[in-house]
Each structure stands twice: as structure tokens, then as C-alpha cells.
Amino acid sequence: MRLEDLGLIGNCQFSALIGRSGDVVWCCLPRFDSEPVFSTLLDHESGGRFVVGAADGGMGSQRYLENSNVLETTFETTSGKFRVLDFAPRFTQHDRIFRPTQLFRVVEPIEGTPLVRVECEPRLGWSKAVPAVLQGSNHLRFEGFASSLRLTTDIPLSFVAGHPFALTGRRYLALTWGAPIEEPLAPVCDRFLAETLRYWQRWVKHCDIPSQYQREVIRSALALKLHCFEDTGAIVAAMTTSIPESPGSGRTWDYRYCWLRDAYYVLGAFRLLGHFEEREHFIEYLLNVAASAPDLKLAPLYRVDGGTDLEERVLDSWPGFGGEGPVRVGNGAARHSQNDIFGEMVLALTPVFLDERFSAERSKATLDLIQRLARKAIALAGTPDAGIWEYRTEWKPQTFSSLMSWAAADRMGRVAALHTPATLHEFEQAATRIREEILAKAWNPALGAFAGTYGGGDLDAALLQMATLRLLPVDDRRLTGTIDGIRARLSNEGWLFRYRLDDGFGQPTVAFTICTFWLVEALALVGRHADAKTVMDRVHAVLSPLGLISEDLETSTMRMWGNFPQAYSHVGLIHAAFAASPKWSEVL
């Protein structure tokens, strides 16, 4: 199984990954961080599966219906041609977004009389236990789940066990968690499909996009939206757990949670796209998280409901993606100190107080929170932590964490000038102090660049963000030297590693996708537009056929690794595409 052969569907309540075989290889219900119902992604033999595909097991070709999250898989067989449309309903109904925990699969012939195979075998989460099956007249009910799981279909139930049958007309399958489909199946499926298509295409029309790389940005925008858990406002880092960062590495992590840092980056991408409701929802999520931590001792990540029960454990009975275990559930990084998150949360809230379009979102609670976050960031500047890359070795003062502390103080000063003038001097003074500390303690003359840690000798690709955060003028030699040093020493076949040091699991052997996109953005910001365009043209060409991106790239094989799709990577593409593209006024 290859990540490049998987498509994503969802509706901001749950998601599913579907392979070219027509198999739902990964789906957690009823939400992203729930236990899996279908899971051949991590156990090809014993994981649950839901196949609607060719009887001979052949692969189909996949595409998304134009500007939507509706996935089409087309199969050509010796007996005929057919397609499967997969989607999760999402549209406006009764002035609210309708997003039920329901997966629809529509299969229809295109040519001839193709032989089709349908098989639905869910599993009871991590136990992989087989549920009891109760058969109705037009449905199968699977027993043992926390809520009712039912497959309703107009395909003869005798065929929903892998027995090939001739497809002579359009057929429907609806897998529902909770309330089942009670209406006639065909018309409700067709209506939901039409409404869902209309919703996504209207959503895309409301996106701002750059003058170039438009299709890639649109797909990244649609993928990012599916990482938003609308019920609480949480934004997850990825849809999967335990896809290794590289083969044989043992670097397998559970990413189905809300990293506060990642959420900030996602919100920045939505800002470029002209979508702001995601930030409104996330602020509510953040206020709830902060309310449970009066001392603002925030964890780097939380469950989508704000919960903190994230103890990391290994599931020995699961072989893992392609046999590349271990499979992990939960994430030990929840116990880390990652000081940069306080700065990123300040930056996430800053637009509320600096942009008059969002004045209605201002409240005393939000203003109080942003002040407290800024003061926390300032207090932590220069102290040891695990940093943005979540090192599992000895903690040191991370330059990037201090950079975000400076950004928090700097931006809070701008907020204070407008809303709390009495605190302006406090934040301006803190910003000056932290900036001077970074310049004195992180600059390494031998490297000709800023080091990843105070007094250190290793580079960190995250420091490319010095350009976007505007710590130094764009013509400052220390900034350009850092960009050039990172590009020269962390590059492998044109792709950037996060770092070269041993992080407790050995030295990384794959490129971290977003770092190369950061390079594009940094080059553009310091005026090297042709250079930025060259890098962008190269990297955007390795997207999956559907335009989806994972966390990591093995440069020797150009194969994707790491949890998939990765919100971080799609954020990077969006920012880089805007940075590398000419302004619309220059092309129209």
C-alpha cells in the first residue's frame, strides 16, 4: 500500500481514506481520534475493510469531482467499466451545517456489465474483534459498538460478503453511525450528493487563491478544511496514526489530535484563503482549554474535545503500515514543555484585535487570555524545552521557541497600543530584550547563521520563519546567511531536512515536507523571487495524483512517508504558493 494511492473524504466530523482498490482502508468513528472501524492501513490481514471495487481486485483511477471533497474511483475491467463515488454529507440545512456521521458510496456502470465486489467487515476498534451481524431486509446491523453501526443498501445482501455480481444499474450504500437512514435510499443519496457537491464548490468560490498553482492550492484548502473538527473547533494534525516517518525508523506517532501550534499554522493558511470561521471556532476551543488550566500550563496537544487522556502506548498485535511498526495510540508529546506554543497562540488571536473586520469577536475574556499568553511566552524565553520538533533527548533553550516568545511580545505590543495602552511599555521592553538575547546567544559566526539552540552548532529549518516573523530586516546579512546556511546544509536533492542532529532515534533520513515550503516563502520575502519560483516548481510536482501530501519525503525514491494527509504540509504549500506567485495585478 502506498500513500500516493489513497484519497481522503470527510465532513468535519469524521474522515476516511480510500484506496484505488475501492477499499476504505482507514476510518475512525464517530470522530478523528476514535478507535478505527476500518483499518487495513495498519493491519492488511485483520483490520476491518469496506470494499466496493472490481471483482478481479484490479486497481481503479481516482480523481475528485471538480472543486469538491467527493472522490471518484473509476474501474475498467474485461466485462465493463464502472465508477464509485464516495462522500460524507456536508451542506447547509435549516440554517445549520448538516454533517452526519454517515459514509455514502454510490456505484454505477459506465460501459458494459461490469462484475463488482462489495464487502463490509468492520472491526471493534483496537481489539480487532469481529462484531455480531444482524440482517434486516435491506440492511446489516453491526453489534458491539458504542452506537448503532448500520449498512443500508439496495444491493442484495447476499452479495455484500464479497460475492461478485453484475452491476446493471446505479446502486447505493450508506454506512451510518447512530441514527440510520429511514428515507428511501436512492433519492436521499442523490440529494445528499448534489447538496454536498454544491456546498464544496461554493466554498471554493469564496476562497482567495494565488495567480499560479491554483489547483494545488484549492486541493490543499479542501484537505485542510477536513482537518477541522467543527463540533469543538479543534484542528487535527493528521488523519492517521503510526505511519512511519521513514522505513525501518520506528518513528511512528499518533497525529489524530489537536496540536495548538499546528492549529495556528492552519489558521494562517485560512487567512490567506479568505476564510475566517475556522479561527472563530478555534478561539472557543482555546478558551475552553485555557479554562481548565488556570496557570496556563498548556499541553502541546489535546484531544478534539479538549481532553488530556493521551498516554502513549504500543499495540503489539498490530503489524503497522506495510509491516513497519510499532503502532502507537496516544502521544507522549502531550507531557512535553514546548514553549513556542504560547507565542503561536498569541499570533492566532492577534487578528481579532488588530483587524476591524473581527471586532465583533472581541471580548474581555479573549483580551485577558491573549495578555496572559503573551506574559507566559515572555517568561519562558530562553528556557530549555522540547521545541517545535519535540526532541526526546536532553532539552536545551531552543532558538525557535525564543523567536516565538519575541513574536508574542512584539504583536502584543501592537494590541496594547490600541486596547490596553497602560501595558504598551511592558511588551515593547520585553520584545526588545528577547530580540537582543536571540541575537547575542543564537548567532553562530562559524556557521554564518543562527543556530537551533543557544550556543549551539546545529541548524534548524524552523528558523526560516525568522523571515516571515520579521525579526530582522530582509536585507540583514544574518537573516540571509541563515537562509543560505539552512539551504546548503540541510538540503538533500533540493528537499530540506528539519535538522541533522541525533534526536534520540538517530539522524533523520527523510525530508520534512513543510521545511522546503518554508524555504520558498523565505526566499520570496528577501526578494529572491526567481529562486523561490524554481524551488516551488520542483516541489509541487511530487504531490500525490490527488494533490494530497504527507509529512515526510524519502528523496531517493520520491515516496511519501509519515501520517497522511498532513495539515502542516498543506499549510506549507498554500503559503509557498502565495509567496511564489505574481500578484493578480501583474497577470490580469
Contact 52, 22 (CB under 8 A): yes
Q: Is residue 17 part of a domain?
A: yes
Is residue 509 pLDDT above 90, yes or no?
no
The domain that holds 65 is classified in CATH as: 2.70.98
Phi/psi zone of residue 147: left (φ > 0), alpha (ψ -120 to 50 degrees), beta?
beta
pLDDT, mean of residues 140-169? 95
pLDDT for residue 92 is more than 80: yes
pLDDT at 72: 98
| 3-state secondary structure labels for all residues of 125-185 | HHHCECCEEEECCCEEEEECCCCCEEEEECCCHHHCECCCEECCCCEEEEEEECCCCCCCH
- Residue 431, Cα to own-chain centre: how many angstroms? 31
- Give the Å distances, CA to CA, from 225 to 192, 313, 322: 19, 29, 28
Identify whether 117 is part of a domain.
yes
| Predicted confidence (pLDDT) at residue 387 exceeds the cutoff of 80 | yes
* 70-80: pLDDT as tens digits: 999 999 999 99
Q: What is the arithmetic mean of pLDDT over 522-548? A: 93
Residue 132 lies in a domain: yes
Question: How far is it, in rounded angstroms, from Cα 223 to Cα 567?
Answer: 8
pLDDT for the residue 234 = 96
**Cis peptide preceding 156, ω within 30 of 0:** no
**Whether the predicted pLDDT of 564 surpasses 90:** yes
Mean pLDDT in residue range 339-362: 93
Tell me what pLDDT residue 391 has: 76
User: Does a structural domain hold residue 106?
Assistant: yes
pLDDT higher than 80, residue 566: yes
pLDDT of 464 > 90? The answer is: yes
The domain of 139 spans: 3-204
504 burial class (0-12, 13-18, 19+ CB within 10 angstroms)?
exposed
Q: Are 84 and 106 within 8 A, CB to CB?
A: yes
Residue 200 lies in a domain: yes
Chain centroid to Cα 560, Å, comes to 15
Q: Answer whether residue 292 shows pLDDT above 90.
A: no
How many helices (H) and strands (E) would you count in the chain? 14, 32
The pLDDT assigned to 430 comes to 98
Residue 433 CB-half CA count within 13 A:
15
pLDDT at 386: 87
What pLDDT sits at residue 356? 93
| Position 169 in a domain | yes
β-sheet bridge partners, residue 121: 49
Tell me the mean pLDDT in the region 318-327. Answer: 96
The answer to whether residue 164 is domain-embedded is: yes
Name the least confident of 416-425, 532-541, 565-574. 532-541
Residue 507 burial (C-beta neighbours within 10 Å; 0-12, 13-18, 19+)? exposed
Residue 394 — very low, low, confident or very high, per pLDDT cuts 50/70/90? confident
Which of 208-217, 486-495, 523-532 has the least mean pLDDT?
486-495
* Region 366-394 average pLDDT: 90
Q: Which helix (H) or strand (E) holds 56?
A: none
Residues in the chain: 588
What pLDDT does residue 389 have? Answer: 82
pLDDT at 64 over 90: yes
Q: Alpha-carbon distance 345 to 299, whole Å?
A: 12
Mean pLDDT of 49-69: 97
Question: Quick one: pLDDT at residue 507?
Answer: 79
Asked if 73 contacts 20 with a C-beta cutoff of 8 angstroms, the reply is yes
- Cβ-contact 380, 415 below 8 angstroms: no
pTM score: 0.96
To the nearest whole number, what is the mean pLDDT of the chain? 95
Q: Which residues contact 172 (CB under 8 A, 6 or more apart)?
A: 104, 105, 106, 107, 153, 154, 185, 186, 189
What is the bridge-based pairing of β-strands 384-385 and 396-397?
A: antiparallel
Residue 475, in any domain of the structure: no
Kindly state the percentage of the chain with pLDDT values over 70.
99
Reported as a pLDDT band with limits 50, 70 and 90, residue 502 is confident
Helix 214-225 / helix 567-580 crossing angle, nearest 10 deg:
150
CA 79 to chain centre: 39
Count of the separate structural domains present in the chain: 1
